[in-house]
Structure 1
Amino acid sequence: MPRRRSYDQFCAATRALDAVGDRWTLLIVRELLAGPRRYTDLHADLPGVSTDMLASRLKDMERDDLVTRRRLPPPASAHVYELTDRGRGLLPVLRALAAWGLPALEAPRPTDAVRAHWFAIPLLTALDAAATGPGVVEVRLDEGTFHARVGGDGGAAEYADGPAAPEPDLRLRMDAATCLAVARGAFSVAEGVATGRVEVVGAVGDAFAAGLGGGSAVTSGAA
Protein backbone atom coordinates (compact mmCIF):
# COMPACT_ATOMS: atom_id res chain seq x y z
CA MET A 1 0.00 0.00 0.00
CA PRO A 2 1.22 3.56 -0.62
CA ARG A 3 3.05 5.22 2.23
CA ARG A 4 0.78 7.34 4.39
CA ARG A 5 1.60 11.01 4.80
CA SER A 6 3.83 11.70 7.77
CA TYR A 7 5.16 14.70 9.63
CA ASP A 8 8.59 13.06 9.35
CA GLN A 9 9.61 14.10 12.84
CA PHE A 10 11.29 11.76 15.34
CA CYS A 11 8.82 12.55 18.14
CA ALA A 12 6.30 10.36 19.99
CA ALA A 13 3.52 12.93 19.63
CA THR A 14 3.99 13.23 15.88
CA ARG A 15 4.10 9.43 15.51
CA ALA A 16 0.72 9.34 17.25
CA LEU A 17 -0.63 12.07 14.97
CA ASP A 18 0.68 10.19 11.93
CA ALA A 19 -1.75 7.42 12.93
CA VAL A 20 -4.77 9.29 14.36
CA GLY A 21 -4.35 12.93 13.33
CA ASP A 22 -6.39 12.74 10.13
CA ARG A 23 -9.96 14.07 10.09
CA TRP A 24 -12.55 11.50 11.29
CA THR A 25 -10.07 8.95 12.64
CA LEU A 26 -10.58 9.68 16.34
CA LEU A 27 -14.33 9.91 15.83
CA ILE A 28 -14.30 6.44 14.28
CA VAL A 29 -12.42 5.29 17.39
CA ARG A 30 -15.11 6.94 19.54
CA GLU A 31 -17.79 4.95 17.73
CA LEU A 32 -15.91 1.65 17.97
CA LEU A 33 -15.19 2.13 21.67
CA ALA A 34 -18.95 1.67 22.05
CA GLY A 35 -18.67 -1.79 20.47
CA PRO A 36 -18.17 -3.51 17.09
CA ARG A 37 -20.03 -1.75 14.28
CA ARG A 38 -21.03 -2.52 10.73
CA TYR A 39 -19.91 -0.09 8.06
CA THR A 40 -23.49 1.15 7.61
CA ASP A 41 -23.83 1.78 11.37
CA LEU A 42 -20.59 3.75 11.42
CA HIS A 43 -21.72 5.84 8.48
CA ALA A 44 -25.08 6.54 10.14
CA ASP A 45 -23.46 7.73 13.39
CA LEU A 46 -20.81 9.87 11.69
CA PRO A 47 -22.98 12.50 10.00
CA GLY A 48 -21.01 14.42 7.40
CA VAL A 49 -18.47 11.76 6.46
CA SER A 50 -18.56 10.58 2.86
CA THR A 51 -18.59 6.86 2.08
CA ASP A 52 -15.24 7.18 0.29
CA MET A 53 -13.65 9.00 3.24
CA LEU A 54 -14.96 6.47 5.75
CA ALA A 55 -13.71 3.54 3.68
CA SER A 56 -10.31 5.19 3.29
CA ARG A 57 -9.97 5.93 7.00
CA LEU A 58 -10.94 2.37 7.95
CA LYS A 59 -8.31 0.97 5.57
CA ASP A 60 -5.69 3.24 7.12
CA MET A 61 -6.75 2.18 10.60
CA GLU A 62 -6.54 -1.49 9.68
CA ARG A 63 -3.05 -0.94 8.33
CA ASP A 64 -2.03 0.89 11.52
CA ASP A 65 -3.38 -1.95 13.72
CA LEU A 66 -6.12 0.21 15.22
CA VAL A 67 -9.08 -1.80 13.90
CA THR A 68 -9.82 -5.25 12.57
CA ARG A 69 -12.64 -6.45 10.33
CA ARG A 70 -14.37 -9.77 10.88
CA ARG A 71 -17.48 -11.58 9.68
CA LEU A 72 -20.23 -12.33 12.19
CA PRO A 73 -21.43 -15.95 12.29
CA PRO A 74 -24.79 -16.90 10.73
CA PRO A 75 -27.53 -15.85 10.69
CA ALA A 76 -26.01 -12.35 10.74
CA SER A 77 -23.30 -13.01 8.13
CA ALA A 78 -22.27 -9.35 8.17
CA HIS A 79 -18.83 -7.79 8.54
CA VAL A 80 -18.10 -5.62 11.56
CA TYR A 81 -15.20 -3.40 12.50
CA GLU A 82 -13.78 -3.49 16.01
CA LEU A 83 -10.84 -1.96 17.80
CA THR A 84 -7.61 -3.79 18.49
CA ASP A 85 -5.93 -3.47 21.88
CA ARG A 86 -3.92 -0.60 20.41
CA GLY A 87 -7.11 1.10 19.27
CA ARG A 88 -8.81 0.64 22.65
CA GLY A 89 -5.75 2.25 24.21
CA LEU A 90 -7.00 5.56 22.77
CA LEU A 91 -9.84 5.81 25.32
CA PRO A 92 -7.72 7.89 27.77
CA VAL A 93 -6.81 10.19 24.87
CA LEU A 94 -10.46 10.74 24.02
CA ARG A 95 -11.31 11.24 27.70
CA ALA A 96 -8.66 13.94 27.93
CA LEU A 97 -9.90 15.59 24.72
CA ALA A 98 -13.50 15.48 25.97
CA ALA A 99 -12.50 17.05 29.30
CA TRP A 100 -10.66 19.80 27.44
CA GLY A 101 -13.58 20.41 25.07
CA LEU A 102 -16.36 20.19 27.66
CA PRO A 103 -16.33 23.90 28.65
CA ALA A 104 -17.11 24.77 25.02
CA LEU A 105 -20.07 22.39 24.90
CA GLU A 106 -23.11 24.52 25.61
CA ALA A 107 -26.52 24.23 23.92
CA PRO A 108 -26.53 22.21 20.69
CA ARG A 109 -26.26 24.33 17.56
CA PRO A 110 -29.04 24.00 14.95
CA THR A 111 -26.67 22.02 12.71
CA ASP A 112 -25.41 19.68 15.45
CA ALA A 113 -26.20 15.97 15.29
CA VAL A 114 -26.66 14.33 18.71
CA ARG A 115 -26.25 10.70 19.78
CA ALA A 116 -26.70 9.43 23.34
CA HIS A 117 -23.44 7.48 23.47
CA TRP A 118 -21.48 10.66 22.67
CA PHE A 119 -22.22 11.74 26.26
CA ALA A 120 -20.55 8.62 27.65
CA ILE A 121 -16.91 9.70 27.43
CA PRO A 122 -17.23 12.99 29.35
CA LEU A 123 -19.51 11.29 31.91
CA LEU A 124 -17.19 8.35 32.68
CA THR A 125 -15.25 10.16 35.43
CA ALA A 126 -18.43 11.06 37.33
CA LEU A 127 -19.84 7.55 36.97
CA ASP A 128 -16.54 6.08 38.15
CA ALA A 129 -16.62 8.36 41.21
CA ALA A 130 -20.14 7.17 42.08
CA ALA A 131 -19.06 3.54 42.26
CA THR A 132 -17.65 1.94 45.39
CA GLY A 133 -16.75 -1.22 43.47
CA PRO A 134 -16.84 -2.66 39.95
CA GLY A 135 -20.28 -2.34 38.40
CA VAL A 136 -22.34 -1.46 35.35
CA VAL A 137 -24.41 1.72 35.12
CA GLU A 138 -27.00 2.35 32.43
CA VAL A 139 -27.83 5.94 31.49
CA ARG A 140 -31.10 6.82 29.78
CA LEU A 141 -31.35 10.15 27.96
CA ASP A 142 -34.09 11.45 25.70
CA GLU A 143 -31.59 10.93 22.87
CA GLY A 144 -31.09 7.23 23.69
CA THR A 145 -29.36 4.87 26.10
CA PHE A 146 -25.79 3.81 26.80
CA HIS A 147 -24.07 1.91 29.59
CA ALA A 148 -20.64 1.88 31.18
CA ARG A 149 -18.53 -0.51 33.24
CA VAL A 150 -16.86 1.54 35.96
CA GLY A 151 -15.21 1.20 39.36
CA GLY A 152 -12.51 -1.16 38.13
CA ASP A 153 -8.84 -1.20 39.06
CA GLY A 154 -6.76 1.60 37.61
CA GLY A 155 -9.78 3.54 36.35
CA ALA A 156 -10.22 1.19 33.40
CA ALA A 157 -13.76 2.36 32.63
CA GLU A 158 -15.41 1.45 29.32
CA TYR A 159 -18.73 2.17 27.68
CA ALA A 160 -21.09 0.70 25.11
CA ASP A 161 -24.10 1.84 23.13
CA GLY A 162 -27.59 0.70 24.12
CA PRO A 163 -29.06 -0.86 27.28
CA ALA A 164 -26.99 -3.09 29.56
CA ALA A 165 -27.55 -6.83 29.46
CA PRO A 166 -28.18 -8.46 31.82
CA GLU A 167 -29.50 -5.97 34.39
CA PRO A 168 -27.11 -3.14 35.32
CA ASP A 169 -26.11 -2.39 38.91
CA LEU A 170 -27.53 1.11 38.51
CA ARG A 171 -29.95 2.60 36.00
CA LEU A 172 -30.17 6.39 35.74
CA ARG A 173 -32.50 8.69 33.83
CA MET A 174 -31.65 12.34 33.19
CA ASP A 175 -31.79 14.95 30.45
CA ALA A 176 -28.82 16.02 28.34
CA ALA A 177 -28.31 19.30 30.22
CA THR A 178 -28.11 17.43 33.54
CA CYS A 179 -25.74 14.88 32.02
CA LEU A 180 -23.38 17.67 30.93
CA ALA A 181 -23.62 19.36 34.33
CA VAL A 182 -22.62 16.12 36.07
CA ALA A 183 -19.80 15.61 33.58
CA ARG A 184 -18.52 19.15 34.25
CA GLY A 185 -18.52 18.50 38.01
CA ALA A 186 -21.27 21.02 38.79
CA PHE A 187 -22.69 18.32 41.09
CA SER A 188 -22.12 14.61 41.64
CA VAL A 189 -24.37 11.75 40.61
CA ALA A 190 -25.41 11.34 44.27
CA GLU A 191 -26.24 15.06 44.57
CA GLY A 192 -28.23 14.87 41.36
CA VAL A 193 -30.21 11.95 42.77
CA ALA A 194 -30.78 13.73 46.09
CA THR A 195 -32.10 16.87 44.38
CA GLY A 196 -34.26 14.99 41.88
CA ARG A 197 -32.36 16.05 38.77
CA VAL A 198 -31.17 12.47 38.29
CA GLU A 199 -33.70 9.64 38.63
CA VAL A 200 -32.76 6.15 39.74
CA VAL A 201 -34.83 3.54 37.92
CA GLY A 202 -35.26 0.20 39.68
CA ALA A 203 -33.01 -1.40 42.29
CA VAL A 204 -29.48 -0.24 43.12
CA GLY A 205 -26.65 -2.77 43.38
CA ASP A 206 -24.04 -2.78 46.14
CA ALA A 207 -21.41 -1.24 43.85
CA PHE A 208 -23.36 2.03 43.86
CA ALA A 209 -25.61 1.98 46.96
CA ALA A 210 -23.02 3.44 49.34
CA GLY A 211 -21.97 6.10 46.85
CA LEU A 212 -25.58 7.24 46.50
CA GLY A 213 -26.14 7.60 50.21
CA GLY A 214 -26.97 4.04 51.09
CA GLY A 215 -30.56 4.21 49.92
CA SER A 216 -31.64 7.23 51.94
CA ALA A 217 -30.88 9.52 49.00
CA VAL A 218 -32.24 7.11 46.40
CA THR A 219 -35.72 7.47 44.92
CA SER A 220 -36.58 4.67 42.54
CA GLY A 221 -38.86 5.24 39.58
CA ALA A 222 -40.60 2.81 37.29
CA ALA A 223 -38.42 0.64 35.10
Structure 2
Amino acid sequence: MGERWGLLIIRDLTVRPQRYTDLFDGLPGIPTNVLSTRLKELEEAGIIERRIAPAPQRGVLYALTPAGHDLEPAVSALGRWGTTQLGEPRPGEIVTPSAVVMALRAAFDPHAAAGLTASWEIHAGDIEVHAAVTEGRLTAGIGPAADKPDLVIDFEPDDLPSYLALMQAAKCGLVKLDGPRELLDSFIRVFGPSKATLPDAPAHRSAALDE
Protein backbone atom coordinates (compact mmCIF):
# COMPACT_ATOMS: atom_id res chain seq x y z
CA MET A 1 0.00 0.00 0.00
CA GLY A 2 3.04 2.25 0.18
CA GLU A 3 3.49 2.02 -3.58
CA ARG A 4 2.28 4.85 -5.79
CA TRP A 5 -1.55 4.86 -6.11
CA GLY A 6 -1.92 2.03 -3.58
CA LEU A 7 -3.43 4.11 -0.78
CA LEU A 8 -5.77 5.90 -3.20
CA ILE A 9 -7.11 2.55 -4.40
CA ILE A 10 -7.73 1.56 -0.78
CA ARG A 11 -9.37 4.94 -0.15
CA ASP A 12 -11.86 4.43 -2.97
CA LEU A 13 -12.63 0.87 -1.90
CA THR A 14 -13.48 2.04 1.61
CA VAL A 15 -16.46 3.80 0.02
CA ARG A 16 -17.82 0.64 -1.66
CA PRO A 17 -16.70 -2.38 -3.73
CA GLN A 18 -15.88 -1.28 -7.27
CA ARG A 19 -15.22 -2.65 -10.71
CA TYR A 20 -11.88 -2.19 -12.42
CA THR A 21 -13.44 0.46 -14.68
CA ASP A 22 -14.91 2.31 -11.67
CA LEU A 23 -11.49 2.49 -10.06
CA PHE A 24 -9.86 3.58 -13.30
CA ASP A 25 -12.41 6.36 -13.86
CA GLY A 26 -12.11 7.49 -10.23
CA LEU A 27 -8.30 7.77 -10.29
CA PRO A 28 -7.58 10.23 -13.11
CA GLY A 29 -4.08 9.79 -14.47
CA ILE A 30 -3.43 6.25 -13.29
CA PRO A 31 -1.94 4.06 -16.08
CA THR A 32 -3.89 0.87 -16.74
CA ASN A 33 -0.83 -1.32 -16.16
CA VAL A 34 -0.18 0.33 -12.78
CA LEU A 35 -3.78 -0.17 -11.68
CA SER A 36 -3.63 -3.84 -12.67
CA THR A 37 -0.32 -4.30 -10.85
CA ARG A 38 -1.49 -2.58 -7.66
CA LEU A 39 -4.71 -4.60 -7.57
CA LYS A 40 -2.73 -7.81 -7.95
CA GLU A 41 -0.28 -6.78 -5.20
CA LEU A 42 -3.04 -5.75 -2.80
CA GLU A 43 -4.91 -8.98 -3.48
CA GLU A 44 -1.79 -11.07 -2.84
CA ALA A 45 -1.24 -9.15 0.40
CA GLY A 46 -4.75 -10.02 1.58
CA ILE A 47 -5.91 -6.39 1.63
CA ILE A 48 -8.47 -6.69 -1.19
CA GLU A 49 -10.38 -9.55 -2.75
CA ARG A 50 -12.42 -10.24 -5.86
CA ARG A 51 -16.16 -10.81 -5.62
CA ILE A 52 -18.81 -11.71 -8.17
CA ALA A 53 -21.10 -8.72 -8.66
CA PRO A 54 -24.64 -9.40 -7.38
CA ALA A 55 -27.52 -9.60 -9.86
CA PRO A 56 -28.52 -7.77 -11.97
CA GLN A 57 -24.89 -6.64 -12.27
CA ARG A 58 -22.29 -8.78 -13.97
CA GLY A 59 -18.56 -9.20 -13.70
CA VAL A 60 -16.06 -8.84 -10.88
CA LEU A 61 -15.94 -6.35 -8.04
CA TYR A 62 -12.87 -5.48 -5.99
CA ALA A 63 -13.57 -5.14 -2.26
CA LEU A 64 -11.64 -4.73 0.96
CA THR A 65 -11.03 -7.81 3.08
CA PRO A 66 -11.37 -7.58 6.89
CA ALA A 67 -7.66 -6.70 6.97
CA GLY A 68 -8.31 -3.98 4.41
CA HIS A 69 -11.19 -2.54 6.45
CA ASP A 70 -8.79 -2.30 9.39
CA LEU A 71 -7.04 0.44 7.43
CA GLU A 72 -10.12 2.69 7.39
CA PRO A 73 -9.26 4.59 10.62
CA ALA A 74 -5.81 5.40 9.19
CA VAL A 75 -7.29 6.52 5.85
CA SER A 76 -9.85 8.70 7.67
CA ALA A 77 -7.14 10.20 9.88
CA LEU A 78 -5.12 11.16 6.79
CA GLY A 79 -8.27 12.65 5.30
CA ARG A 80 -8.93 14.75 8.40
CA TRP A 81 -5.37 16.07 8.31
CA GLY A 82 -5.67 16.70 4.58
CA THR A 83 -8.75 18.91 4.96
CA THR A 84 -6.60 21.38 6.92
CA GLN A 85 -3.97 21.57 4.17
CA LEU A 86 -6.00 22.04 1.00
CA GLY A 87 -5.79 25.34 -0.84
CA GLU A 88 -7.60 26.48 -3.95
CA PRO A 89 -8.17 23.70 -6.52
CA ARG A 90 -5.52 23.58 -9.24
CA PRO A 91 -6.34 23.74 -12.97
CA GLY A 92 -7.43 20.33 -14.20
CA GLU A 93 -7.94 18.96 -10.69
CA ILE A 94 -10.75 16.41 -10.58
CA VAL A 95 -13.00 15.77 -7.60
CA THR A 96 -14.66 12.34 -7.68
CA PRO A 97 -17.73 11.04 -5.82
CA SER A 98 -15.49 8.70 -3.81
CA ALA A 99 -13.32 11.62 -2.75
CA VAL A 100 -16.36 13.63 -1.60
CA VAL A 101 -17.70 10.67 0.41
CA MET A 102 -14.31 10.17 2.04
CA ALA A 103 -14.12 13.90 2.80
CA LEU A 104 -17.54 13.73 4.48
CA ARG A 105 -16.42 10.76 6.58
CA ALA A 106 -13.12 12.41 7.47
CA ALA A 107 -14.66 15.77 8.38
CA PHE A 108 -17.54 14.26 10.38
CA ASP A 109 -17.59 15.54 13.95
CA PRO A 110 -19.29 12.95 16.19
CA HIS A 111 -19.46 15.42 19.09
CA ALA A 112 -21.35 17.98 16.98
CA ALA A 113 -23.63 15.16 15.75
CA ALA A 114 -24.45 13.81 19.22
CA GLY A 115 -28.19 13.08 19.40
CA LEU A 116 -28.79 14.23 15.81
CA THR A 117 -30.86 12.27 13.30
CA ALA A 118 -30.97 13.77 9.80
CA SER A 119 -30.16 12.91 6.18
CA TRP A 120 -28.81 14.92 3.27
CA GLU A 121 -28.35 14.44 -0.46
CA ILE A 122 -25.61 16.52 -2.06
CA HIS A 123 -25.52 17.43 -5.75
CA ALA A 124 -22.47 19.19 -7.21
CA GLY A 125 -21.98 19.09 -10.97
CA ASP A 126 -22.12 15.44 -11.99
CA ILE A 127 -21.52 14.29 -8.42
CA GLU A 128 -24.35 12.93 -6.30
CA VAL A 129 -23.69 11.59 -2.80
CA HIS A 130 -25.65 11.15 0.40
CA ALA A 131 -25.02 11.26 4.12
CA ALA A 132 -27.20 10.31 7.06
CA VAL A 133 -26.71 10.68 10.80
CA THR A 134 -28.78 8.45 13.07
CA GLU A 135 -28.44 9.20 16.75
CA GLY A 136 -24.97 10.56 16.09
CA ARG A 137 -23.78 7.69 13.85
CA LEU A 138 -22.79 8.43 10.25
CA THR A 139 -23.42 6.55 7.02
CA ALA A 140 -22.35 8.09 3.71
CA GLY A 141 -22.15 6.81 0.16
CA ILE A 142 -22.25 7.49 -3.56
CA GLY A 143 -25.53 8.13 -5.33
CA PRO A 144 -28.96 9.16 -4.09
CA ALA A 145 -30.17 8.29 -0.61
CA ALA A 146 -32.16 5.06 -0.32
CA ASP A 147 -35.01 6.95 1.37
CA LYS A 148 -36.16 10.51 0.75
CA PRO A 149 -33.55 12.74 2.40
CA ASP A 150 -34.51 15.44 4.88
CA LEU A 151 -32.57 18.03 2.86
CA VAL A 152 -31.25 18.15 -0.71
CA ILE A 153 -28.33 20.56 -1.18
CA ASP A 154 -27.61 21.68 -4.74
CA PHE A 155 -24.24 23.29 -5.48
CA GLU A 156 -23.89 24.89 -8.89
CA PRO A 157 -20.18 25.54 -9.46
CA ASP A 158 -18.94 26.43 -12.92
CA ASP A 159 -16.08 23.99 -12.31
CA LEU A 160 -16.41 21.43 -9.56
CA PRO A 161 -14.30 22.84 -6.71
CA SER A 162 -12.66 21.20 -3.73
CA TYR A 163 -14.59 19.89 -0.75
CA LEU A 164 -13.55 22.93 1.29
CA ALA A 165 -14.84 25.25 -1.43
CA LEU A 166 -18.16 23.40 -1.34
CA MET A 167 -18.34 23.87 2.41
CA GLN A 168 -17.52 27.55 2.04
CA ALA A 169 -20.34 27.90 -0.52
CA ALA A 170 -22.69 26.24 1.97
CA LYS A 171 -21.62 28.64 4.72
CA CYS A 172 -22.25 31.59 2.41
CA GLY A 173 -25.66 30.26 1.38
CA LEU A 174 -24.63 29.84 -2.28
CA VAL A 175 -26.73 26.71 -2.64
CA LYS A 176 -30.25 25.64 -3.59
CA LEU A 177 -32.15 23.79 -0.90
CA ASP A 178 -35.06 21.38 -0.92
CA GLY A 179 -35.94 20.99 2.73
CA PRO A 180 -35.58 22.85 6.04
CA ARG A 181 -32.98 25.63 6.03
CA GLU A 182 -31.90 24.74 9.58
CA LEU A 183 -30.62 21.36 8.34
CA LEU A 184 -28.05 23.23 6.25
CA ASP A 185 -26.76 24.73 9.48
CA SER A 186 -26.62 21.22 10.96
CA PHE A 187 -24.74 19.98 7.90
CA ILE A 188 -22.15 22.75 8.20
CA ARG A 189 -21.76 22.15 11.94
CA VAL A 190 -21.31 18.39 11.55
CA PHE A 191 -19.18 18.28 8.38
CA GLY A 192 -17.47 21.66 8.16
CA PRO A 193 -13.83 21.94 9.30
CA SER A 194 -13.57 23.93 12.52
CA LYS A 195 -11.02 26.69 13.03
CA ALA A 196 -10.28 25.17 16.40
CA THR A 197 -8.98 22.01 14.72
CA LEU A 198 -6.82 23.77 12.13
CA PRO A 199 -3.08 24.32 12.55
CA ASP A 200 -1.50 27.75 12.27
CA ALA A 201 -2.19 29.08 8.80
CA PRO A 202 0.27 27.83 6.17
CA ALA A 203 1.08 30.12 3.28
CA HIS A 204 -0.86 27.97 0.80
CA ARG A 205 -4.10 27.73 2.77
CA SER A 206 -7.21 28.91 0.94
CA ALA A 207 -8.19 32.42 1.95
CA ALA A 208 -11.81 31.22 2.13
CA LEU A 209 -10.98 29.31 5.30
CA ASP A 210 -10.17 32.50 7.15
CA GLU A 211 -13.30 34.41 6.23
Mapping 1:17-36, distance limit 5 Å: 20-36=1-17
Q: Which of 165, 173, 176 is residue 196 of structure 1 equivalent to?
A: 173
1 or 2 for the larger relative contact order (CA 8 Å, sep ≥6)? 2
Q: Percent identity?
A: 34
Q: Which of 99, 103, 112 is residue 118 of structure 1 equivalent to?
A: 99
- Determine the structure 1 residue equivalent to 2:40: 59
Cα distance, 1:82–1:101 mapped onto 2, change above 3 Å: same
User: Structure 1: which 4+ aligned runs deviate by more than 4 Å?
Assistant: 175-179, 208-212
Cα distance, 1:126–1:71 mapped onto 2, change above 3 Å: closer
Aligned residue pairs, count: 182
Q: Which amino acid aligns with 1:164?
A: A
RMSD: 3.4
- Determine the structure 1 residue equivalent to 2:64: 83
Q: Which amino acid aligns with 2:179?
A: G
Using the TM superposition, give the Cα deviation of residue 31 of structure 1 relative to its aligned residue in structure 2, in angstroms.
Answer: 1.4
Q: Which of 71, 83, 87 is residue 106 of structure 1 equivalent to?
A: 87
Matched, 1:132 2:109: no
Cα distance, 1:82–1:178 mapped onto 2, change above 3 Å: closer
Using the TM superposition, give the Cα deviation of residue 179 of structure 1 relative to its aligned residue in structure 2, in angstroms.
Answer: 4.4
Unaligned 5+ runs, structure 2? 188-211
| Larger of the two Rg values belongs to structure | 1
Q: Which of 32, 38, 41 is residue 22 of structure 2 equivalent to?
A: 41
Cα distance, 1:93–1:21 mapped onto 2, change above 3 Å: same
- Determine the structure 2 residue equivalent to 1:146: 129
Distance in 2 (alpha carbons) for counterparts of 1:132 and 1:198: 26
**TM-score normalised by structure 2 residue count:** 0.68
Asked if the contact 2:104/2:140 (under 8 Å) is kept, the reply is no
Instruction: Describe the SS at the equivalent of 2:84.
Output: helix
**TM-score normalised by structure 1 residue count:** 0.65
Asked if the contact 1:131/1:151 (under 8 Å) is kept, the reply is no
